[in-house]
Structure 1
């Protein structure tokens, strides 16, 4: 399960004797407990935004005037809250400030949503729907297909349209092996995909491709942002 550590500094604390944070980062990173993190600029560079009566109200500085402030964050993946607390207790700032440990919502299954996106791509190909296929990609996506580079939704839609108009009947996209690694707002997938179809001239397409895909969390859904497909074999009859 993922946990967010909010690293809270204290303006009144003496940080001169604080241990460096790098060993903590390196240790948890080597054990793949810490996934990501970063320092934040000091509170005097913050801007607080409110909207009241349709008017945007901006004020310089943090939301609350307090000696404690969020100085940074770390994203952990732990088996339990106890493990996350243990990691937080070892953070150097814990000795002079505080760390808030907060679990992520549990109703998000990013890998399942990515696999559903891949299933939608398969279904759209079978139904010969270039628009549905294109909708699986981000507007600024880049794809390397058939040895050609396609950048942007319009280029992808044209490529899919050319494929679909050049064949008759359904296009079968069979995913033989699909592995996904998710890291918060981005993900990477590796798959073996077999593409079968019959060309308008009567010859058959039977391509086995290695496909590497990059995904981005677009807020309400995941989208493909980068794809590279290389043919490993082709059979014609």
Structure 2
């Protein structure tokens, strides 16, 4: 289960004797307990926003004036709350401030991150089979970075990829089979990466076969409520 660890500093505390945070980050990272995290700016740089009666009310500074403030956050993956508390207790800031540990809200109705990527890949496969350019491009974020080296020609950018797909679909007489092999996925809540071999087969308009295998590395990110392709790097494997 995932837990949000809010690292709360204390203006009144003497931090001169506090141990460095880096060993804690490194240890929990090596154990795959700490997924990611970051420091955040001081409360003086905060802006508090409220809307009352349709009017946006902006106040410089934190939501509440207090000597304790959130100085950073970490996301932990632990089997139990007790394990998360144990990890929080080892954080150096716990000796001068406080650590707030909260479990992520359960999302029983949402598919897990890996399933979302597999569903998106299946959608791309179906779009290619149907030679549906708009449907295929809908799998990509608007500003996706796409790099392909196929047939000895280098293509960069989503516009170039769109043109290449259009040319591919126009060059065949029927469906294009997209076979994905050795698909390996690594994900968290907002980003993911996949590595695979993708074989494209079909029949060209001149009667010759289309048969090309690509080694593909794909990056995904949550865009709004959808997970889309934001990076794609593909290299043709001749004779694969």
TM over 0.5: yes
Residue number in structure 1 paired with 2:122: 119
Unmatched 5+ stretches in structure 1? none
- Note if contact 1:173-1:196 (Cα within 8 Å) is conserved in structure 2: yes
- Note if contact 2:113-2:188 (Cα within 8 Å) is conserved in structure 1: no
**What CA deviation, in whole Å up to 9, does each residue of 1:105-125 have, x standing for no partner?**
342511111111101000111
- Note if contact 1:131-1:157 (Cα within 8 Å) is conserved in structure 2: no
The 1-side partners of 2:146 and 2:73 are apart by 33
The 2-side partners of 1:162 and 1:156 are apart by 10
Residue number in structure 1 paired with 2:157: 151
The 1-side partners of 2:125 and 2:34 are apart by 35
Report the Cα offset of residue 201 of structure 1: 0.5
Report the Cα offset of residue 2 of structure 1: 2.1
CA RMSD of aligned residues (A): 1.6
The 2-side partners of 1:119 and 1:46 are apart by 43
Residue number in structure 2 paired with 1:200: 205
- Note if contact 1:134-1:156 (Cα within 8 Å) is conserved in structure 2: no
Residue number in structure 1 paired with 2:89: 89
For the residue of structure 2 that corresponds to 1:226, the secondary structure is strand
- Note if contact 1:173-1:194 (Cα within 8 Å) is conserved in structure 2: yes
Q: Which of 173, 181, 192 is the aligned partner of 1:176?
A: 181
Query: Aligned pair 1:139/2:142, yes or no?
Result: yes
- Note if contact 2:85-2:101 (Cα within 8 Å) is conserved in structure 1: yes
Report the Cα offset of residue 234 of structure 1: 4.7
- Note if contact 2:155-2:161 (Cα within 8 Å) is conserved in structure 1: no
For the residue of structure 1 that corresponds to 2:237, the secondary structure is strand
**Aligned residue runs from structure 1 range 13-32, under 5 A:** 13-32=13-32
The normalised TM-score by structure 1 is: 0.92
For the residue of structure 2 that corresponds to 1:167, the secondary structure is coil
- Note if contact 1:18-1:92 (Cα within 8 Å) is conserved in structure 2: yes
Report the Cα offset of residue 135 of structure 1: 0.6
**What CA deviation, in whole Å up to 9, does each residue of 1:78-97 have, x standing for no partner?**
22222111100101111221
Unmatched 5+ stretches in structure 2? none
Residue number in structure 2 paired with 1:62: 62
The 2-side partners of 1:195 and 1:127 are apart by 13
- Note if contact 1:47-1:58 (Cα within 8 Å) is conserved in structure 2: yes
Report the Cα offset of residue 28 of structure 1: 1.0
**What CA deviation, in whole Å up to 9, does each residue of 1:139-194 have, x standing for no partner?**
11122232422313x43322211110111111111112211111332211001111
Report the Cα offset of residue 51 of structure 1: 2.0
